[in-house]
Structure 1
Amino acid sequence: MARRKLNILPKEIRQARRKKFRRKMFFFFLFFVLIIVGFSVLSNSKIMRIENIEVSGAEVLNSEDIKNFVKEEMNSKFLYVFSKQNYIFFPMNKVESEIMKEFPRIGEVRGGKTNSSTVSFSVVEREEEYLWCGSSAVFGADLANVECYFVDSTGFIFAKAPLFSGSIYFRFFSSIENEPLGSYVFNIEEFKKLVYFIDLVDGIGLDSTTLTLEGAPDVEKNYVIYFKKEYEGRSLPPKVIFKTDFDPEKIANNLEALFSLQEFLTKFESESGIEYIDLRFDGKVYYK
């Protein structure tokens, strides 16, 4: 059997090669450190330093508050080394995201670098479409003492609202586990479905004011819509009860058919009125 030749180098050659490798690694590391130090010095110099912050589009919010927040973000270091005040290292996307978190009223923000010393931010504030007023429905004079929050068209809760009485805004009541600000009344798709149904109800000519999710903890919950209708001696307005997996068009059609009946209208407009309309059962409508 042929013997395999072993490539054994003399000890001196192996040591020389290791020494050469270590020297290369040292110079590579030194070069890398010098590059980092150079960029760090450059980022902290006055060259290309951001001196001006411009904010447009703020209406309810104070532009100066947004500017001051951006300045605070710029005071930190990128990778603990590079100054964020430098035009090159300014983290525009991250700052945009942080602005949205700090100011929930802002629904959209677009940042740009106007020149080497100026960054600008254009913000779009959320529209005050509805109110979220807690987990349990409240009516009448008690509503003036309830802390409510503004809600946009997606169901996003973005700001505290002044104390309102009456029905200036449509009100939602639902349980929210976290801090209300920055939360959603319901998930976005469910909220859009509910708003669509509310619009259908209002299109029939019925004035709805409140929607809530009601039911005992161990029982299937149902949606409930309350009307703007008061009966003497009764603390709660009339309501419509329907299941959470409802069909908006179908429920609205049933409701419209009910209000087209003269017998029901007479009862609805009478002094005793009605307590509820139950639309949870397919093809059937119950009221009391």
Structure 2
Amino acid sequence: MRKQAFRSPKLQRKTRQRRIHKLVLVGVLLCFVVAMGVYGVLRPEFRIHEIKIDGGESVPTELIADYIRHGMQGTYLGFIPKEHILFYPQHALTAGVLQAFPVLSHVAISRGGFSSVHVSAVSRNPYALWCEGEACYFIDETGFVFAPAPDTSLSLYYRITTEILATTTPVGTARIERDHLADVFSLLVRLESLGFETSDLRILPQGEHVVVLRGGARLLFGTDSFTPTLNRLETLLAEQELVPRLDSGSLDVDYIDLRYGNKIYFK
């Protein structure tokens, strides 16, 4: 049978006192670390006082800075300021700026020192016009609607119109898929290479497309690929006497219907 070690009461008291001393020391160190942490958190030198912004010329820099300042108001746990350089809500601010200013395609926020942050912003470029009813908007190459378009821009970009009207503003949403937009853009460019001046491209609810030319003539496209349809149209136009034309060379027809394969109708 294993013998139990015997400790004198005096030795036990010394051992207990050493443990108490160690616990007190650890407690003091923890309090010191916490105190220094709180001291560092509350020091004004580590709070963000300056916001430097590069790029994003389409949005006044002060608007972006005001949004970020507002997003850094308040505290965590009642005492840690959100404007502290180590604890500012970087990801939330980045997502918020992009949502508040749809005209920006990219935003990056990083530390610029102990009391400043650097904001890098990239603006979207107009690719075409997206029109719903009488209202037109700029879209980028991804199909994202990012700003209302002034009347002065209506003749500067290809115009794509939908007959499906939304109940809310489309700004800040994607209204057309990227691949679909690229196909539509290629269609309009190809028509221009054939000598047509386009006024509008309308996307019908069933997925068909109508291209309105300057002068009012319409080209009706089905849901098939545009390329073979355009090849058939080019063959048709090569027959000089087949499709009526005005003296200016414009088509003298109400429409050319290209929705039925090799069968082409015009009126």
TM-score, structure 2 as length reference: 0.77
The answer on 1:276 being equivalent to 2:262 is: no
1:106 positional shift: 0.5
Alignment of 1:237-252 (within 5 A): 237-244=216-223, 246-252=224-230
Classify the secondary structure of the residue corresponding to 2:99.
helix
Name the amino acid aligned to 1:70: I
Match of 1:172 in 2: 160
Alignment of 1:87-102 (within 5 A): 87-102=85-100
Distance 1:92 1:165 in 2: 36
Match of 1:52 in 2: 50
The answer on 1:191 being equivalent to 2:170 is: no
Q: Is the 8 A contact 2:217 2:251 kept in 1?
A: no
Match of 1:150 in 2: 138
CA deviations on 1:120-174 (whole Å, 9 max, x unpaired) are 1111111122222214xxxxxxxxxx33211212221111122248622221112
The answer on 1:160 being equivalent to 2:148 is: yes
Distance 2:101 2:188 in 1: 29
Distance 2:251 2:85 in 1: 71
Distance 1:79 1:242 in 2: 61
Q: Is the 8 A contact 1:59 1:125 kept in 2?
A: yes
Residue 44 to residue 250, structure 1, CA distance change in 2 (3 Å): farther
Q: Is the 8 A contact 1:43 1:89 kept in 2?
A: no
The answer on 1:213 being equivalent to 2:203 is: yes
Match of 1:182 in 2: 172
Q: Is the 8 A contact 2:56 2:122 kept in 1?
A: yes
Alignment of 1:10-25 (within 5 A): none
1:201 positional shift: 2.0
Distance 1:121 1:62 in 2: 13
The match for 2:237 among 243, 253, 259 is: 259
Distance 1:285 1:39 in 2: 79
Classify the secondary structure of the residue corresponding to 1:68.
helix
Distance 1:286 1:79 in 2: 72
Q: Is the 8 A contact 1:225 1:240 kept in 2?
A: yes
Alignment of 1:217-236 (within 5 A): 220-228=206-214, 230=215
Structure 1: where are the runs of 5+ without partners? Answer: 1-27, 136-145, 231-236
Distance 1:189 1:81 in 2: 50
Instruction: Calculate percent identity across the aligned residue pairs.
Output: 25
1:42 positional shift: 4.0
Distance 2:38 2:178 in 1: 44
1:80 positional shift: 6.1
Distance 1:74 1:83 in 2: 8
Match of 1:201 in 2: 191
1:69 positional shift: 0.7
Distance 1:150 1:200 in 2: 22
Match of 1:286 in 2: 265
Alignment of 1:22-41 (within 5 A): none
Bigger-Rg structure (1/2): 2
Name the amino acid aligned to 1:226: V
Name the amino acid aligned to 2:260: F
Distance 1:242 1:74 in 2: 52
Classify the secondary structure of the residue corresponding to 1:193.
helix
